[in-house]
Amino acid sequence: MKKTLYLSLCALAALTFGTARKAGAQTITSHYEYTNCSNPIDSFSVGVSGFISGQTIETFYGDGTSDINTLSGSGGSGYASFAHYYGASGVYTVKEVLISGGADVDSVTFTVNYLMCQDMYVNLFNDLNSNCLFDASDALINDAATVEVDSAGVPVDTISATWYIDYIAYGPVGTIYTFKVIGNPHGYMPSCPASGIVYDTVSFASPSGKLMAFACDPSACLDNAVYGWFSPGVTGAGSHIWVTSSSCTPVAATLTLTFSPKYSYASLAYATAGVTASASGNILTVNIPSVSQSTTAYFVPLFSPVGTLTLGDTVQSRFVLTPFTGDCDTANNTFTEVDTIRLSHDPNYKSVTPGGNITAGTTLQYTIGFENTGNDTAHNIHIMDTLSDNLDISTFKEITSTAQVNVIFLTSGGHNIVKFDFPNINLLDSSHHGLCDGMVAYTIKAKTALATGTAIDNRAGIYFDVNPVVMTNNVENKIGALTTSVAIMSNIKVVVYPNPVSDELTIQTDGTYASFTITNTIGQLMMTQQINPGTSAMHSTNQKVDVKTLPAGLYYLTLRGELGAKVVKFEKM
């Protein structure tokens, strides 16, 4: 299942210090102010040193009002927390005075840039029972809707979201916000309202939540997709895999996982009902009898090491979801992952596809997986993902999630941060196999003006309740020069197999070639060799090439002869 929301940041926080009105041992040491968009109030807190019981804080809010709050504390430290209602947005000068024994002993003055704001919730859901209500019988949407947001008739934002939107609205009471679907989730159409438009009005009351229902669109083309990763370790490996579909009715699919010969298949630790798996050599075939818009298949195959593995060694995995026939977007049916062996399989993981070398402007898909490995329920989880400066934040699109998630964009030190917040996820403990895992995936483009050799690094921090952060592995792409500039002879057939390959590559052609070269994705020559000619230009030529010594990754095979040149791509396991 997949649920997603988009949340604009509403907290306006400032930790500031002022000049003391009267010097002394009893001083104001800090104060904190933030706007809570769930209520039309500003929240304040203040800390003091030299605390004495009975001390108070008098606050002048800059709008002609003030109040007095009593401090609490012990051991020489005191504090107070309080809230104030501002009737309008504006910049206010606030003064806090520390009073002890009836005398003013210290004060601070600071400004508050107060913006009245309100949470607006719009639920996006698959209305399976067609009652226009969001109830327990309804399912989650598997693909993002694109929603235009208008304020008083003026477009102010465009949101990519699944499951629901949490939007922060600014403006005076009575301002009407419009949420209009301008891009349907794949395989869906608005049903209630059929226009795909809902309205909300700024009132600063508790948000009630608006409903935008969708129904399955039987005229939409089929789109099956696979998400997941392969996490290798010295002691074994594990793979977490989700298969989704836009089909209105259940369809069958098959997932083929070609894994490294450094491992052997062990078992399915968890699988959705009906899912079965079998292995032949280093190919795992998973049969999925039923997947649709309302049902997602999830399974966790485990693998044992073959011999003694080496830390840092390279492991490559390839995921292929079939059938391709009838699938209108096969780009999300396959992906290849290259990773390094760690001490053990880590379920808190990050992957990127395509991996390795890419061209500038390439769309990257990042998948972040997490698992509650503790012995108690994880009630709230959030992920902090600091994006590479070489990624274009304007192209970000959240595409899938296994639970309700708030997507929050932050900046720190000039860097873009995406926070994925899973409030009240209540992820079960590790004794519930298959029910203690989660995932979020998104796409984003590399910037277009990146020089060859530019690295795009990424890792994320996962927070389970109040526990210390769990860091994922680091994934890296590099801008490389792809060697595809040779003259291509499109009328000549060249087939290489197996692809991906681990040991020996077979080249089969229906033409005559004098030589071939193998280069990597940044143009380095890895191998050159004369080819055995066929009996004539019309007969197949089969050439065996030992590629065991090539590092894992993508390569370009260039065949050259009298008729020109031909380039094909293959993957080395």
pLDDT on residue 161: 78
Overall domain count for the chain: 4
193/212 same-domain check? yes
Q: Which residues pair with 365 in a beta bridge?
A: 353, 443
Structural domain includes residue 131: yes
- The residue among 159, 192, 216 that closes a domain is 216
Least reliable range by pLDDT among 142-156, 295-309, 320-334, 420-434: 420-434
pLDDT band of 109, cuts 50, 70, 90: very high
Segment 294-321 shows an average pLDDT of 89
Instruction: Report yes or no: 275 and 267 within 8 Å, Cβ to Cβ.
Output: no
Nearest to 423 by CA among 164, 82, 137, 201: 164
**233 near 341, Cβ under 8 Å?**
yes
State the residue range of the domain holding 559.
494-572
Q: In what order do the strands lie in the sheet with 224-232?
A: 224-232, 237-245, 297-305, 263-271
8 A C-beta contact, residue 141 and residue 159 = no
Distances (CA, A) of 337 to 75, 459, 560: 56, 15, 30
pLDDT tens digits along 191-246: 999 999 999 998 876 666 899 999 988 888 889 999 988 989 999 999 999 998 98
One domain, residues 396 and 476: yes
The pLDDT score that the predictor gives to residue 178 is 96
Residue 424: which CATH number?
Answer: 2.60.40.740
Does residue 273 lie within any of the structural domains?
Answer: no
**Residue at a domain's end among 480, 513, 539:** 480
Is the pLDDT at 489 greater than 60? The verdict is no
- 557 and 446, same domain (yes or no): no
Contacts 24+ apart (CB under 8 A), 44-49: 44/81, 44/82, 44/83, 44/84, 44/94, 45/79, 45/80, 45/81, 45/82, 46/79, 46/80, 46/96, 47/77, 47/78, 47/79, 48/73, 48/77, 48/78, 48/79, 48/98, 48/106, 49/25, 49/76, 49/77
Q: Is residue 534 very low, low, confident or very high in pLDDT (cuts 50, 70, 90)?
A: very low
Interval 421-454: pLDDT, tens: 887 888 877 777 667 888 888 999 999 989 888 9
Give the whole-angstrom CA distance, residue 262 versus residue 259.
8
What are the CA-CA distances from residue 213 to residues 2, 151, 193, 216, 291 (Å)? 16, 22, 7, 10, 21
**What pTM, to 2 d.p., does this model score?**
0.62
Find tokens 């020559």 and name the residue: 525
254 in a domain, yes or no?
no
CATH (domain of 41): 2.60.40.10
Going by pLDDT thresholds of 50, 70 and 90, the confidence category of residue 503 is confident
Please report whether residue 283 resides in a domain.
no
Are 355 and 376 in the same domain? Answer: yes
Q: Closest Cα partner for 227 from 432, 500, 442?
A: 442
CATH number of the domain at 526, please.
Answer: 2.60.40.3080
Residue where a domain stops, chosen among 114, 144, 171: 114
Q: What separation in angstroms does the CA of 34 have from each of 16, 61, 255, 382, 390?
A: 12, 14, 49, 21, 32
In angstroms, the CA 492 to CA 567 distance is 11
State whether 429 and 396 are in the same domain: yes
Rg of the chain over all Cα atoms, to the nearest angstrom:
29
- 404 and 443 in a single domain? The answer is yes
DSSP H or E run through 253: strand 251-258
Is 194 contained in some domain? yes
pLDDT band at 314 (very low <50, low <70, confident <90, very high): confident
Q: Establish if 206 belongs to a structural domain.
A: yes
pLDDT attached to residue 522: 61
Region of 101 on the Ramachandran plot (φ > 0 left; ψ -120 to 50 alpha; else beta): left
pLDDT in tens, 148-169: 999 999 999 888 777 778 888 8
AA letter at 446: A
Whether residues 435 and 460 share a domain: the answer is yes
463 domain-assigned: yes
For residues 403 and 526, state if they share a domain. Answer: no
Query: Backbone dihedral region of 361: left (phi > 0), alpha (psi from -120 to 50 degrees) or beta?
Result: left
On whether both 471 and 534 belong to a single domain, the answer is: no
Same domain, 82 and 98: yes
- Both 36 and 96 in one domain: the answer is yes
Residue 385 inside a domain? The answer is yes
Condensed to tens digits (0 to 9), the pLDDT of residues 59-71 reads 999 999 999 999 9
Q: Which two tokens mark 228?
A: 């997941």
Tokens of 426: 């209540």
Its sign, for the CA torsion 31, 35, 38, 43, is: positive
* Cβ-contact 281, 295 below 8 angstroms: no
pLDDT band at 7 (very low <50, low <70, confident <90, very high): very low
φ, ψ at 348 (rounded to 5°): -95, 105
- Residue 47 sits in the same domain as residue 70: yes
